[in-house]
Amino acid sequence: MSYSNKVAIALSLASITILSSSAASAHDFSAGDIRIGHPWSRAAPAAAPVMGAYLTLTNAGPEADTLVGGSTPLAERIEIHQMSIEDGVARMRPLPDGLEVAPGSSVALAPGGIHLMFIKPARPFAEGDRIEATLEFARAGSVRVEFVVQRNAEGKPDTATDHGGHTP
């Protein structure tokens, strides 16, 4: 691996650490060369048939790996989707071949882009819940992770400062 690659990885790992340390209860998981940064899911409305989930994947190894899917006892299945907004129109498409992470690179699954989708959750996920799941990688194999349920990407209880008061 070249020096610049190493620097890139170090920087991306550092930025992930900085990002997740600002989020509520930052946590990481790893499998082989793959590191999974702060898996989280959005607190869902009552009866929501789907829920988005996010994380950051970093591949410190010399070869590409692919996130091919996942499962959880708390939902019918987990899919990998790509969301985009063009000309004010939101589109969502599954990534049936999974999500490749190139060697020495990092991919953020984040609101507004690629995300995991829990299909038919067994119950509404409430803020603060931890959702156990298994992610499957083509090379690194399966890895158990926990998704923290947050209201938003920042992990703040509310987007307002002192003006909370959401209907539960």
Partner 1 sequence: MNRVRLFRICVWGAVVLLAGFLLVSTMLPEPQAPAEASTGTARVGGPFSLTSHEGERIDNQSLTGRPYLVFFGFTHCPEICPTTLFELTDLMSELGADAEKFEALFVTVDPERDTQALLASYMTSFDSRITALRGSSEETETTLRAFSAYAAKVPLEDGQYTMDHTTGVYLVRGDGSFGGTLDMHEPRDIRLQKLRRLAGS
How many Å is the maximal CA-CA distance in the chain?
53
Contact predicate 93/143, CB 8 Å: no
User: In this complex, which beta carbon is closest to partner 1, that of residue 44 or of residue 140?
Assistant: 44
Residues that bind partner 1 (CB under 8 A): 42, 44-52, 81, 83, 85, 88-94, 96, 111-112, 115, 117-118, 151-152, 158-160, 163-168
Query: If you search the block for the tokens 């995300």, which residue do you land on?
Result: 115
User: In this complex, which beta carbon is closest to partner 1, that of residue 35 or of residue 38?
Assistant: 38
Cα 60 from Cα 32, distance rounded (Å): 9
User: In this complex, which beta carbon is closest to partner 1, that of residue 26 or of residue 110?
Assistant: 110
**Structure-token pair, residue 118:** 């829990």
Report the nearest approach of partner 1 to the CB of residue 40 (Å): 13
Report the nearest approach of partner 1 to the CB of residue 10 (Å): 31
Report the nearest approach of partner 1 to the CB of residue 71 (Å): 16
Cα 68 from Cα 1, distance rounded (Å): 25
